A and B are shown apart, each in its own frame.
Chain A
Amino acid sequence: MKKSIQYLLILTVATIATAFTFSINGYEPGSEAADFKLKNINGSMVSMADFKDAKGYIIVFTCNHCPYAMKYEDRIIALDKKYKSQGYPVIAINPNDTVNYPDDAFGEMVKRSKEKGFTFPYLIDETQQTAKNFGAIKTPHVYIIKKESDKLIVKYIGAIDDNYDDASKVTKKYVESAMEELLKGAEVSVKSTKAIGCGIKWVK
């Protein structure tokens, strides 16, 4: 085979392989996100597209049972209160296997939302496909999305802040900082962070 054709072939295979890998691993900052249609605690189906006036979304994969996620509940409510009116509503998604983790079952989600006074949709990802598309691996796991032209672009992935244990001792508010930059029309400077969380409970 001619050398140039060989190189072209290798390049094509490499490109396809890389693209395939990225889709397996989920979104990175800069990825275009696919919308979802998931059941909310009030029984209605919710998609990002339903929020026609939104400039973007703060997607939070979270659940009832994980103590990490529970420590962040108040802070997630606060994020919604602060940014919904500025065009970025919070949308919470529970991706867990509810058979083995009955605390995360739909009925329990309804209860928790009422008890804590969630101001945002709390959706159940029954097939776990949305979590897989995003590449979420634990709870809580945040994805900030911004609408650019007609596309949903991921701008930030990861933790909410740097102290899960004590909100009063937080020194770095990752999500808020990213939001302030986005609202100013600037690029997000810290595009991703890591946090400990409960691994998402995949159905076996």
Chain B
Amino acid sequence: MTRFYVLLGLSLCFLSTIRAQTDPEIKFVPADSIYNIINHPPDSTILVINFWATWCRPCIEELPYFKQADSVLKGENYLFIYVSLDAPSDKKAPVKFIKQKKQGGRHYQLNETDLDQFINKIDPNWGGSIPYTIVLSKGDRKNHEGAFENYRQLWQFIRSLGKD
């Protein structure tokens, strides 16, 4: 009987770790990591990078559009990346949020508070307001400061890369 309980206990532990692995998680990274992603995109991949924060209502309202686009573009070499600008002192809020919304894609939280430098390095034309979105591939990039009004607007932006 004891063996049964031990096995049961171990299975439950195992199952709980599997669940943790499949939940979205957020990597807490310095500014350099973000510059690296932008400056060295993988070959034959289109990155969609969205800067957001849990306290930014327009950011939250457009996240479902990104989720939809991600799902539609599965298997087509697109990688959706989210960079949370929630304060470094608050790591809980963004994780809780994306878990709740099941917002897939790759998630980062910026570990940096000197944003003057960061904003200018990301894009000298970025005024600093969020949401802010980039679509880029090796050799091509488009930026959008402000929210997308609807899914269609986001879709057109994402698909506009390479078409001028």
Contact = CB atoms under 8 A, between A and B. Distances in A.
Interface of A: 66-68, 71, 101, 137-138, 158-159, 162-166, 169, 171-172, 174, 193-200
Given A66-B55, A67-B55, A165-B89, A196 B115 contact: yes
Contacts of A197: 128-129
Contacts of B56: 198-199
A137 B129 contact: yes
- Looking at A169, A171, A194, the one whose CB has the most chain B CB atoms below 10 A away is A194
Nearest to B113: A163
Interface string B52-89: 01011110000000000000000000000000010111
A162 B126 CA distance: 17
Contacts of A158: 116
A67 B127 CA distance: 18
B87 A138 contact: no
B164 interface: no
B113 A195 contact: no
17 contacts: A67-B53, A138-B128, A138-B129, A158-B116, A164-B115, A165-B88, A165-B89, A171-B114, A194-B120, A194-B126, A195-B116, A195-B128, A196-B128, A196-B130, A197-B128, A198-B55, A198-B129
B114 A162 contact: yes
Interface of B: 53, 55-58, 85, 87-89, 113-116, 119-120, 126-131, 146-147
Query: Which applies to chain A's interface (DSSP): helix, strand, loop or mixed?
Result: loop
A159 B85 CA distance: 16
A199 B130 contact: yes
A138 B55 CA distance: 14
Contacts of A194: 115-116, 119-120, 126-128
Given A66-B55, A196-B119, A166 B113 contact: yes
Query: Which applies to chain B's interface (DSSP): helix, strand, loop or mixed?
Result: loop
A164 B113 contact: yes
B145 to A, nearest CB: 8
Contacts of B85: 196
B129 A162 contact: no
A24 to B, nearest CB: 14
Contacts of A67: 53, 55, 87
Contacts of A198: 55-56, 129-130
A200 B128 CA distance: 11
A162 B130 contact: no
Contact of A165 (B87, B116, B127, B146): B87
Nearest to A100: B57
Contacts of A71: 87
Nearest to B130: A196
Contacts of B131: 199
B55 A199 contact: no
Given A162-B116, A169-B113, A196-B129, 7 more contacts: A67-B53, A71-B87, A138-B128, A162-B113, A165-B113, A197-B129, A199-B58
